[in-house]
Amino acid sequence: MVEIPEYETYSLLSLYQVLNSIRGDLYPEVYEALVKEIGRRVPESVTELEDCYFALDKTRHPDYEARIRRQIEELGGFRHASIEPITEENRYRTFWRRFWAYFFDGIVLGVPLGIGAVVAQNTGVVESAASPYVRQSMELVAVAYAIAMHAAYGQTLGKMVTGVKVLDVAEGRKLSLRQAIVRDIVPLLVTAASTVYLLAFGAMLEDARLSGMAAVVQYAIGAAVLVWGVAEIVTMLFNRKRRAVHDFIAGTVVVRIAN
């Protein structure tokens, strides 16, 4: 007997993504449960429906295309200028979208945190000698932000703007908290190592006496970051689904959900 997935735990987008791949003639009970779950869902917004529209295989499911179009019209119509369908050919072309998402997130986090740090130093709340610790705290916030947003939504604010989303590699479920953590495990470890380094050698940094073990540790951390960055880009460019190393480690994939 075929086990029926717990479709009630799936997002509406995930339900339509499963619909793209499942065959009703081979798995009639599973297909019936999927269709029933889609039918009972009440869309929360036009944005949610647009995500489903762009992800749907419209060639195989013209009836569902019409259904989603009708629901979108009932909620005020499309918000995107283009409604070009997302296909298997362009679904995983996310390199530049991910690049600009990273850039956008840097602005979203960096500007307010930077202003806060400057104000804190100028008002005497934080001593200038504590600047390295302030920067380290900002890095910790950035990693925590990425993990929390991916676990909750599969997207950071940058990914929401650029129209990409991180999914489980099977593309039927959203990320789990474990996957979100594992996906950023290297930045998390580097940040932790940098924090320990700062606590251990903070006095040397302050007095510009960086030498010996402190220098070795700093160069090791820098080299690790460089190697990791290169490996991420290389792997992303040379596989069909544009999965970077962290995607392989966490069992995830980044897909387009909007044009």
Angle formed by the axes of helices 185-206 and 131-153, to 10°?
170
CB 142 within 8 A of CB 109: yes
**33, two tokens:** 């449960």
- Per-residue pLDDT, averaged over 13-18, amounts to 91
- Per-residue pLDDT, averaged over 205-210, amounts to 49
| CA 164 to chain CA mean position, Å | 8
Q: Where are the domains of the chain?
A: 7-74, 95-256
Q: Render pLDDT for 218-246 as a digit per residue (tens, 0 to 9).
A: 777 788 888 988 999 999 988 989 999 99
In this predicted structure, the answer to whether residue 200 has a pLDDT above a threshold of 80 is: no
Q: Helices H, strands E: what count in the chain?
A: 11, 2
- Kind and range of the H or E element at 164? strand 164-168
- Helix boundaries (H) for 41-130: 46-55, 62-74, 95-122
Cα separations (Å) of 87 from 55, 60, 61?
Answer: 8, 12, 13
**Range scoring the smallest mean pLDDT among 50-59, 144-153, 233-242:** 50-59
Tally the C-alpha atoms within 13 A of residue 97's C-alpha that lie toward its C-beta. 23
> pTM of the full predicted structure?
0.62
